[in-house]
Amino acid sequence: MLVADVMAPYVNELFAHPGRLGLWSAWAAALGYTLQLYFDFSGYSDMAVGVALLIGLRFPQNFDSPYKAVNPSDFWRRWHMSLSAWLRDYLFIPLGGSRGSTLLTVRNLLITFVLAGLWHGAAWTFVVWGLLWGVFQSVHVVAKKYGLTPGWTWLNRLLTFAAAVLAWVFFRAASVRAALKILASMVGLRGVSGEETLGVAPLFAAFIVGGLVWVNLLPNTWQITPRPRLRYAVLLGVLLAASLLALSKRSPFLYVQF
């Protein structure tokens, strides 16, 4: 959560000026939001589970290191697991699921994810976001059927992460036009840097690099088993103190609107 809070001002500034982004700042905006949303929603999910335990309820895991996913289907088995299960059980399967031909499976995936986009909000950016994930899922289904999926785990993870970054640009942008400007900058169509291009703060760049290492190499909270050791007590105490100090600042959850 603290990481997401620190990154928020930089991400907001970059996305507020899509026409002033160069190659580096566009990638910083996209990767920054990708990580900001990850830490925000991961923390939100863990807090919901923890608060539920305090009152005697046991919530299921809702977040499972989604940026370690090896394909689009795997991503949605890890990201917002409760929503993914609902989409599967109440939209995809009633539409016919994958029981029919490949063409029908593709149709069902596209319908499911476009509706998932609309569930997030009545905006074209969400529709495009949902459509992109429907396309990603469909491409994977077809590639898997014909044995065209890469044989290297690292490449599958890289492609899946790139697909997520691309989709998050539309999810965060103020409009489809703004998202397209950012994507144009990400492929170098607006130059690398220049006098009219927004720069990337060193602290923000450091958080992006650190965040990428974190989400790819470290275990998620459900895989950690704390032991009664002094070092763990000190670490938890430091984290608690930092959290209490941060309470004085307004920091709404990104996902609260959904």
Domain boundaries, the chain: 2-71+149-257
The neighbour count for residue 2, using CB atoms within 10 Å, is 14
Phi-psi region of 113 (alpha: psi -120 to 50; beta: other; left: phi over 0): alpha
| Contact (CB, 8 A) for 188 and 58 | no
| Contact (CB, 8 A) for 33 and 172 | yes
Question: Does the annotation count 140 as an active-site position?
Answer: no
105-155 per-position pLDDT tens digit: 999 999 999 999 999 999 999 999 999 999 999 999 999 999 999 999 999
| Contact (CB, 8 A) for 7 and 35 | yes
The residues near 193 (Cβ < 8 Å, ≥ 6 apart) are 22, 23, 24, 25, 199
The neighbour count for residue 11, using CB atoms within 10 Å, is 23
How much is the CA Rg of the chain, to the nearest whole Å?
19
CA distance linking residue 193 with residue 202, whole number of Å: 15
CA distance linking residue 257 with residue 254, whole number of Å: 7
What does the block give as tokens for 99?
A: 């029981």
By C-alpha distance, which of 33, 29, 3 is closest to 200?
29
Report residue 248's pLDDT band, with 50, 70 and 90 as the boundaries: low
Q: Which one has a higher pLDDT value, 22 or 232?
A: 22
**Which residue among 17, 80, 120, 140 is the active-site one?**
120
Chain centroid to CA 56: how far? 30
Report residue 36's pLDDT band, with 50, 70 and 90 as the boundaries: very high
pLDDT, averaged across the chain: 88
| Contact (CB, 8 A) for 165 and 31 | yes
Give first-to-last CA distance, the chain, whole Å: 18
Q: What mean pLDDT do residues 17-41 have?
A: 93
191-204 per-position pLDDT tens digit: 776 556 777 888 89
| Contact (CB, 8 A) for 79 and 61 | no
Report residue 229's pLDDT band, with 50, 70 and 90 as the boundaries: confident
Q: Where are the alpha helices (DSSP H) in 91-201?
A: 102-120, 124-145, 153-172, 176-186
The neighbour count for residue 110, using CB atoms within 10 Å, is 17
By C-alpha distance, which of 201, 163, 170 is closest to 18?
170
Match 């074209």 to its residue by tokens: 124
CA distance linking residue 58 with residue 255, whole number of Å: 21
Counting every residue, how long is the chain?
Answer: 258
